[in-house]
Amino acid sequence: MAFDFKKEYSEFYLPPREPGLIELPEMRFVAVRGKGDPNDPSGAYQAALELLYAVAYTLRMSPRAGRAIEGYFPYVVPPLEGLWEQPGAEGIDFARKADFQWTSMIRLPDFVTEADYLWAVEAAARKKGLDFSPVELLSYREGLCVQCMHLGSYDSEPETMRRMLEFTDAQGCAPDYAGGRRHHEIYLSDPRRTQIEKRKTVLRIPVRRK
């Protein structure tokens, strides 16, 4: 059976709907940075997703392409994730989508080396005929966060965020966006196939002890 990050690391990907504290270790991702409204069908965000998934699935299917990756094991491609920020804002303002600066990313298994990643980018570029120069290999250590499962529309996230901030304060913590820390979302549902009220999104706020 293929290794499923969501199930094996359920504390990271399947939190309860009530906020909780969690310490996140360093993880590696294939990532693309950009800006603008993610809902724009012809915008940079949608273009970034095509690049990300192409590289992620090239690595997943590497044995069929004749690439022998040391330590490889069959796995399910992890879910899409996003780091979000806006200039001049503490956290994010969901009403200002055009001002979003984002990093879209997909987690990589630990056995993927830089050489394997570069091979996958080159192979995906040949197959797709697209410019893959925006893609990067990113290491990100999140540290202490408050996280929660959000159920429903992306536009209703502010209510869940409000509960998360109340919990943060009650735990003697405060949001902390210093040093490149950002609002983090993990998308567990395909919005093209999941009813809005059933969409699952993991929300994370970086925090520090007061």
pLDDT, one tens digit per residue, over 115-155 is: 999 999 999 999 999 999 999 999 999 999 999 999 999 99
What would the mean pLDDT of 156-180 be, rounded to a whole number?
Answer: 96
Task: Flag whether the pTM goes above 0.75.
Answer: yes
| Band of pLDDT at residue 91, cut at 50, 70 and 90 | confident
Rounded to whole angstroms, what are the CA distances from 75 to 7, 57, 105, 112?
11, 10, 17, 12
Are 132 and 55 within 8 A, CB to CB?
Answer: yes
Instruction: Check residue 94 and give its pLDDT.
Output: 82
| pLDDT for position 88 | 79
Query: CA-to-CA distance for 41 and 202, rounded, in angstroms?
Result: 23
Specify the DSSP element, H or E, that contains 81.
strand 80-85
Please provide residue 39's backbone torsions phi and psi, each rounded to the nearest 5 degrees: -85, -5
